[in-house]
Every structure is written in C-alpha cells, then in structure tokens.
Amino acid sequence: MAWVPALKPEGSSAIGGKTAARGTSNILALAACGALVTAIAELALQAGLKVVLGKYTHLGLHVVWMTPVANLFVFGAIGLLFAAVNRLRRSPALFPAAAGVFAVLFVLSILFNARGIHWAAVAALAVGAAVQASRLATLHPVAIMTLVRRITVPLAVLLLALTAATLGRRWLLDGRSVAALESPQPGAPNILLLILDTVRARSLGLYGRGQPTSPRLERLTSQGVVFDLALSPSPWTLPSHATMFTGRWPHENRADWGTPLSSGASTLAEMLSGAGYATAGFAANVAYCSRESGLAQGFVHYEDFVISPGRILDSSSLVRGALRNRQFRKTIGFFELPGRKRAPGMHRRLLRWLGGHEDRPWFAFVNYYDAHAPYLPQAPFDELLGPRRSGEPALIEEVKIGSMTPLSVPAEREAYEESVAYLDHHVGVLLDSLEQRGALRNTVVIVTSDHGEEFSEHGQMGHGSTLFLEVLHVPLIFAGTNRISSGLRVSQPVSLRDLAATVMELTGSSQPGLSGHSLAGILAGDTSAKVSRAFSSLGEMRSLLDDEFHYLTDPTGSEHLYAFRRDPQEQRNLAQSPEFRSHVARLRISADSIVSETERKTEQSIR
C-alpha cells in the first residue's frame, strides 16, 4: 500500500512464507491496519485544516473514535469479502488485489477532504496507488505482514489515547464551568429559546398561510406576543444566530462560511451563566451551530454531534464523500442526511438535562433542523398537503433553478411546509411535557427562526444568496411570565438583533456592553418603545425595512424597493420609478449609516 516503504524482492526461500502471508487472516489484518492508518491520516488532515488554515471541518469531538470505527467497518467489509473469496478459491492474486483496493480507499479518503480536485485526477491517483500497492504485495507479502503486525496495535493505542485526551478535556472543562456558577437572583425566570432553522413566516398559518402548518404555535400566541414583521439579520444560519446571541450585526461579528464567531464577543449564554443560570444548547444544525461555529461559548452544556450509527458512518471520509454525491444517492435511493437529529430526539435530551437542573434558573437553546433541506416530512405529515410523493426528492443544495421542472418547485414547497407542520406538532408536544412537569410556571418561551427559504419567487432556491423577504421574514413569539402581554400582535418591524437585550432585561440581569434594544417594553404593551432598525446584510448586499418600504441590493449590486404591505410577494420593483427615488436614497443612506457607525465604534474600541 501507499505507506509501505520500498523493499528488496524476497527470494525463492521465502515462497512458503509468501503463501502463508497471503492467507485469509492476513487479509483481515491488512484491512484493520489500513483502516487505522487511514483514520490517523484523516484526523491529521482535519486537524491541519482547522488549526493551520482555520477551516471548518464540520466534525465533532467524537470524530477521534468515530472515524477509526467507521473505517474499520468499511475496510472490514471489503476484507471479509476478499477473505470469503479466498476460502472458496485460494489464489495468490487475492492478497495483492486486496492491498490495491485498500490503497484506493486510502487515497480516496484523503482526496475527498480536498475540494476542487478534478475527478480524473482523483481517479488517476487512486489507480496509481492501487498498482503500486498490488506490486509491493506481490513481491513482498512477508515483509508487509511483518510491518502490519508491528504497527497495528500501537496505532490502536494511539487512537485510544487521543480519544481519552480529547473527551476527557471536554468533561473537565464542563465540570469546572458548573462549579464556577454564581448564585442566581431569587425568582429569576427560566428562558427557553426555540429556533426553527429555515422556517419562514410566510409558510405558517400563524402568518396567513392558508394551510394547517402551525396550529400549536397559534395556540401559544394566546399566551403571549406575536411580532408580525420580525426580520432576521442574515439569510443564513451562523451570522443570524451570532447576532441573536450577541446583539451585534453580522458585519460586526464577521462570522461567515469559513469563519466562526470570535471568542471575543460576549454571548447571551456567557452573560446568563455569569448571572447564575444553568445553560445548555442543543443544536441539530451541526454544520453551522456546532461548537466549531463559536456559538457554544458560554454554555455549560452543549450538544451538537450525537452518537448514532449514521453519524459514526458519516465520520469516514469515504462514506461522507459517497453520500455527498447526488448520483450515488439517487442510485441507492437514500436522500436523508446521515445522523440527522429530529425534534423528538432533541426533546428527549433537553428534558433529560432539565431533570438535573431544577435547583437554579436555566437557559436552554434548541436549534431544530427538521424543516431544512432535503425536505423529508415524517408520517403522517407527509400527506398533509396532498398525496404522498413518489420518486426522488430534490436536494436543494445541489439543484439549480434552471434544472427544476415547473412541477418540482411546488412539490418541494409542499414537502417543506409539511416538514414545518411536523416541527410545529413536536414543539407543541415539548410544551405539553414541560407544562405537565410544572416547568413552564416561571419560564419565558421564545420561538423564532434564523432565516427563511426561497422557492423560486425571485429565481432562487434555498437561502443564503439574496435578501428578499422570503429569507428574512421570520416568526417571533414571546410567551410566559406576567411581564409579557397575552394575545398581542405587534405590526411594527423589529430585528432579531434585539433578542439578547430583551432576554437580559426579562431576567433582571445586567448587560454591560450589550448592543441592541430591549423589546421588553413592547412585550408589556408599550408599542412606542425604541427598537433596532430592521437591517440585514449578506456580504456587500444590504436590506432595510421601514413601516412602508423594503429596500435591498441584490447580488449584482442593483437596488430594489418594494411597498411590501401592498406587494407582499415583492413582485413590483419601484426603485427606478421617479416618484420613489427619494425613498431609495433615504433607505440607502440609513443602511449605509448602520455599517459606518458600527465600524467607527469598532475602530475606536481598538484604539
């Protein structure tokens, strides 16, 4: 294989040894050694990408043992196949063939972590490795097996030590955080923050959708306040969550596709931990809400990647690379995300954690992934809006709008809204469980979303590419304590930027240096309270909503202006109409001032 050093050919006196070296047990030993070597190479590469280049790996702490286990499964399955053939028909060619296949797996495991390499180059490297490994296994089987026996156990011990060190360090840090908590204020309320990842307001019955997609949220609103025009600060997950947690705009946090939230930013969890709260986060979006994203800072307990068969297999670059290939998924008929965390499992973990933290107020954050693409609604909600669909669900991340048929877009939207209804149902189940436990007596429940989703309303699918209302207008509900009005709907635009300041005021905790404005006054019925401007951004694109108009720039830099109350679908762009140019200029200047003001404050703080 590729890691075997050059050897001199074994002479004729080693023929008997050669035959023994090619036995069934040695094929399996070669498979085990290859799996461990490949796992170490993968882990080293991932560590290099993260530590040296600062890249996301999208892998959790348990990858240190999950990757070896997954590779042992893959290599072992192929080894067993060769061993079975060897028992039926002994052939000197099987051992070299197995070595060649294992070399191919090694090369693919490494190259699947490197994006941008042409498939022809990958194939050429894999074939070259297979030829060299087979040649070495033909000429030097005894030497190869001697090397295998010498290094397999030490490699296993190394991986076990790495696992113990990694997980042990996390356990110690969590224990110290719990011991360091201050005494909380008497009567401080609990905070339950539920973020429905990718759920747009437009698809909820609560916001006018003429389908039963949100009956449980509608029931919750009788006990609280609904904001009719809550705007996300960003059209995708990480910067939106970062703003909610810090009160700082996305361009201040600079958390991006390849950059986590800075450890220098004060988060809601850090401030509440400082106020004596037990804090826990449960993230289903492990791509951009994991510990790696920076969103876990301040939480005493944080769960992202969980141990499951799908997650273990997905820890192998081989499996991960195969399942990212759309054609392969289509061939095997598998469209789910390996290890995807659904709402019922999230709730079991939340309730288990709550059971051990009844001695102090708590802050629990739950991020759901049930409505995110690929849209695979669970029964019986998969027939809520029509008969069950047959065939392949489109994978929005990989499908360009030009390749979708006129029928596939509505079908995708229906599957999405059925997924939303499924999530709404289980949020209701959670609230019922908490009510039965008495856990809601002094709890503020906040339900919102990080962003919405587009279904070709403006030529795009998914999110993270434009600033139209489909991706910015999100639900926002506060319910719970006597500081929150019941049955109130607020029509003025608000920004999720104000969420952190609101929570801190509701808990009666100090908020040094926290940006944003508290919505607590509005929650108590004072709709004249000051709020942050409904500003959003994505790179150089900007969006600002006032009481009448929505101003935005698109990916080309062109300006748009929509009278969104009269034109909620944003189909008539008024930006070029002479009578609306003053509104375009006013909102452009206001949006620019938000960026310039915060940049000036940042420069002053550095000085």
Q: Is residue 330 part of a domain?
A: no
Burial of 345 (0-12, 13-18, 19+ CB in 10 A): middle
Q: How far is CA 529 from CA 232, 236, 359, 532, in A?
A: 20, 28, 35, 10
Cβ(427)–Cβ(343) below 8 Å = yes
DSSP 357: -
CA–CA gap between residue 384 and residue 425 (Å, rounded)? 12
Q: Is residue 313 part of a domain?
A: no
Give the pLDDT confidence score for residue 273 in this predicted structure. Answer: 92
Same domain, 20 and 164: yes
Mean pLDDT of the chain, nearest integer = 89
Same domain, 123 and 207: no
Same domain, 141 and 29: yes
* pTM score of the predicted model: 0.90
H, E, C per residue of 232-244: CCCCCHHHHHHHH
Same domain, 376 and 460: yes
Same domain, 356 and 391: yes
Query: What is the domain count for the chain?
Result: 3
DSSP 51: I
Average pLDDT over residues 298-326: 89
Q: Is residue 5 part of a domain?
A: no
Same domain, 521 and 545: no
DSSP 114: S
Q: Is residue 3 part of a domain?
A: no
Cβ(231)–Cβ(472) below 8 Å = yes
Residue 118 has pLDDT above 60, yes or no: yes
Same domain, 428 and 292: yes
Backbone angles phi, psi at 445, to 5 degrees: -100, 125
CATH number at residue 360: 3.40.720.10
Grouping H, G, I as helix, E, B as strand and the rest as coil, residue 510 is coil
Give the pLDDT confidence score for residue 179 in this predicted structure. Answer: 63
Give the pLDDT confidence score for residue 247 in this predicted structure. Answer: 95
Strands 488-490 and 461-462: unpaired
Which of 137, 168, 199 is the last residue before a domain boundary? 168
Cβ(496)–Cβ(437) below 8 Å = no
Average pLDDT over residues 368-375: 94
Nearest to 229 by CA among 501, 458, 526, 544: 544
Which conformational region is residue 539 in: left (phi greater than 0), alpha (psi within -120 to 50 degrees), or beta?
Answer: left
Question: Mean pLDDT lowest for which of 333-337, 398-402, 425-429, 524-528?
Answer: 398-402
Same domain, 296 and 411: yes
CA–CA gap between residue 573 and residue 583 (Å, rounded)? 13
pLDDT in tens, 180-192: 777 788 889 999 9
**What's the angle, vertex CA 332, arms to CA 331 and CA 338, rounded to 5?**
125
Same domain, 596 and 490: no
- Alpha-carbon Rg of the chain, whole angstroms? 28
Which conformational region is residue 162 in: left (phi greater than 0), alpha (psi within -120 to 50 degrees), or beta?
Answer: alpha
**What's the angle, vertex CA 577, arms to CA 575 and CA 579, rounded to 5?**
110
Nearest to 236 by CA among 401, 454, 399: 454
pLDDT in tens, 592-603: 999 988 766 655
CA–CA gap between residue 600 and residue 439 (Å, rounded)? 44
Percentage with pLDDT > 90 across the chain: 68
Composition of the chain by helix, strand, coil, percent to 5? 50, 10, 40
Cβ(209)–Cβ(199) below 8 Å = no
The gap between the terminal CA atoms of the chain, to the nearest Å, is: 57
Nearest to 538 by CA among 600, 463, 474: 463
Same domain, 403 and 552: no
Both tokens assigned to 547? 């009481």
Query: Side chain identity at 250, as an amino acid letter?
Result: P
Give the pLDDT confidence score for residue 463 in this predicted structure. Answer: 94
CA–CA gap between residue 376 and residue 396 (Å, rounded)? 12
Which of 528, 553, 573 is the last residue before a domain boundary? 528
Q: The tokens 């990958």 sit on which residue?
A: 122
DSSP 363-399: EEEEEE-TTSSS--PPTTGGGTTSSPP-SPPP-GGG-
Give the pLDDT confidence score for residue 442 in this predicted structure. Answer: 94
Residue 490 has pLDDT above 80, yes or no: yes
> Helices H, strands E: what count in the chain?
19, 17
CATH number at residue 556: 3.30.1120.10
Residue ranges of alpha helices (H) inside 48-140 are 63-88, 94-111, 119-139
pLDDT in tens, 540-592: 999 999 999 999 999 999 999 999 999 999 999 999 999 999 999 999 999 99
Same domain, 275 and 424: yes
Confidence of residue 312 (pLDDT cuts 50, 70, 90): very high
Average pLDDT over residues 274-302: 94
Q: Is residue 6 part of a domain?
A: no
Q: CB-based contacts of 326: which residues, under 8 Å, 6+ apart?
A: 395, 398
**What's the angle, vertex CA 198, arms to CA 196 and CA 200, rounded to 5?**
90
Residues in the chain, how many? 607
Same domain, 554 and 512: no
Q: Is residue 150 part of a domain?
A: yes
Cis peptide bond upstream of 338, omega within 30: no
pLDDT in tens, 23-65: 788 999 999 999 999 999 999 998 888 888 777 888 888 999 9
Domain coverage including residue 544: 540-607
Both tokens assigned to 440? 């809601």
Q: How far is CA 281 from CA 84, 89, 174, 509, 524, in A?
A: 47, 55, 13, 20, 28
pLDDT in tens, 189-243: 999 999 999 999 999 999 999 999 999 999 999 999 999 999 999 999 999 999 9
Which of 495, 528, 561 is the last residue before a domain boundary? 528
Q: Is residue 534 part of a domain?
A: no
Average pLDDT over residues 497-521: 90
Q: Is residue 533 part of a domain?
A: no
CA–CA gap between residue 470 and residue 452 (Å, rounded)? 6
DSSP 497: G
